[in-house]
């Protein structure tokens, strides 16, 4: 009888052993503007939230941090980078430049700002996915060519995963944009996530879910 009691006690003890600790989710920050901030949408419909849901549905243990400020330019992103990094992300999507193009800011200045952001992230061993943007057609072919060359140039220089056009399938599609013709509707956000997801998964695959320790 005593032996049986001992066996039962061991069974209970085994059942109380703590489960193996689950690895902390990778923290993926999006440095962006009003689109990343979820302009005009409920918080649950913002694209960082939707991207996290899509990644988790695909089995990627990722927490997406939205670091978007409405109206932000590449200069704005550059000036607040250190503040944004207080969340200690493991990786970053840089989705800036749309407002630069809308305002017709000099492409060389926009490129210099993005170069600064990318170099500072590289110095901290934080991997980056770069989301490209297009310039408004009314600014002329020469401006557009110079502006749109920024992203592939930087991606090539820094060896980054590049998603060529962040608003692919959204710009010019009435059902995917709000009345201003610029910001995505909830349906537009779905299109953004659908489009960029393969690039994000490829990016995460490079990391191997084991980001380098940041210094």
Tell me if 16 is assigned to some domain.
no
* Res 18 pLDDT > 60: no
List pLDDT tens digits, range 27-53: 999 999 999 999 999 999 999 999 999
CA atoms within 13 A on the CB side of 95: 28
Tell me if 154 is assigned to some domain.
yes
Tell me if 144 is assigned to some domain.
yes
- State what percent of residues in the chain have pLDDT above 90: 78
Q: What is the pLDDT of residue 38?
A: 93
Q: What is the pLDDT of residue 207?
A: 86
Tell me if 166 is assigned to some domain.
yes
**CATH number of the domain residue 38 falls in:** 3.40.50.1110
Give the lowest-confidence range in 108-112, 150-154, 179-183. Answer: 179-183
Give the lowest-confidence range in 19-28, 37-46, 65-74, 174-183. Answer: 19-28
Tell me if 2 is assigned to some domain.
no
- What distance, in Å, lies between the first and last C-alpha atoms of the chain? 60
Number of domains the chain contains:
1
Mean pLDDT value of segment 127-155: 95
Q: What is the pLDDT of residue 181?
A: 86
Picking from 113, 39, 26, 103, the residue whose alpha carbon sits closest to that of residue 65 is 26
Residue 32: what are its φ and ψ, rounded to 5°?
A: -150, -160
Can 183 be counted among the known catalytic residues? yes
Q: What is the pLDDT of residue 172?
A: 86
Can 119 be counted among the known catalytic residues? no
Q: What is the pLDDT of residue 24?
A: 82
* Res 212 pLDDT > 70: no
Higher pLDDT, 4 or 55: 55
Tell me if 175 is assigned to some domain.
yes
Residue 121: what are its φ and ψ, rounded to 5°?
A: -65, -40
Q: What is the pLDDT of residue 47?
A: 96
Q: Which of 82, 179, 180, 210 is catalytic?
A: 180
* Res 101 pLDDT > 80: yes
Tell me if 215 is assigned to some domain.
no
Q: Which of 33, 34, 110, 158 is catalytic?
A: 34
Q: 160 and 130 in contact (C-beta within 8 Å)?
A: yes
Q: What is the pLDDT of residue 6?
A: 47
List pLDDT tens digits, range 176-193: 999 988 899 999 999 999
For the entire predicted model, the pTM comes to 0.86
Higher pLDDT, 198 or 5: 198
Q: Which of 72, 100, 110, 183 is catalytic?
A: 183
| Domain extent at residue 175 | 24-207
Q: 33 and 72 in contact (C-beta within 8 Å)?
A: yes
Tell me if 183 is assigned to some domain.
yes
* Res 158 pLDDT > 80: yes
Picking from 35, 31, 47, 32, the residue whose alpha carbon sits closest to that of residue 182 is 35
Mean pLDDT value of segment 93-120: 97
């Amino acid at each position: 009888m005593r032996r049986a009691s001992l066996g039962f006690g061991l069974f209970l003890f085994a059942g109380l052993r703590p489960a193996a600790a689950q690895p902390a989710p990778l923290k993926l920050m999006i440095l962006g503007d009003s689109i990343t901030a979820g302009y005009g949408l409920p918080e649950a419909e913002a694209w960082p939230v939707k991207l996290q849901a899509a990644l988790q549905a695909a089995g990627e243990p990722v927490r997406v941090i939205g670091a978007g400020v409405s109206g932000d330019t590449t200069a704005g992103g550059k000036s607040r980078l250190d503040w944004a990094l207080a969340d200690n992300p493991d990786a970053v999507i840089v989705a800036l430049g749309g407002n630069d193009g809308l305002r017709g800011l000099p492409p060389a200045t926009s490129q210099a700002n993005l170069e600064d952001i990318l170099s500072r992230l590289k110095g901290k061993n934080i991997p980056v996915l770069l989301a490209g943007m297009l310039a408004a057609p009314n600014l002329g072919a020469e401006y557009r060519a110079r502006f749109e060359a920024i992203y592939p140039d930087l991606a090539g220089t820094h060896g980054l995963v590049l998603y060529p056009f962040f608003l692919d399938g959204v710009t010019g599609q009435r059902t995917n944009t709000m009345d201003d013709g610029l910001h995505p509707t909830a349906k537009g956000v779905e299109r953004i996530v659908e489009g960029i997801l393969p690039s994000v998964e490829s990016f995460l695959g490079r990391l191997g879910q084991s980001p380098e320790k940041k210094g």
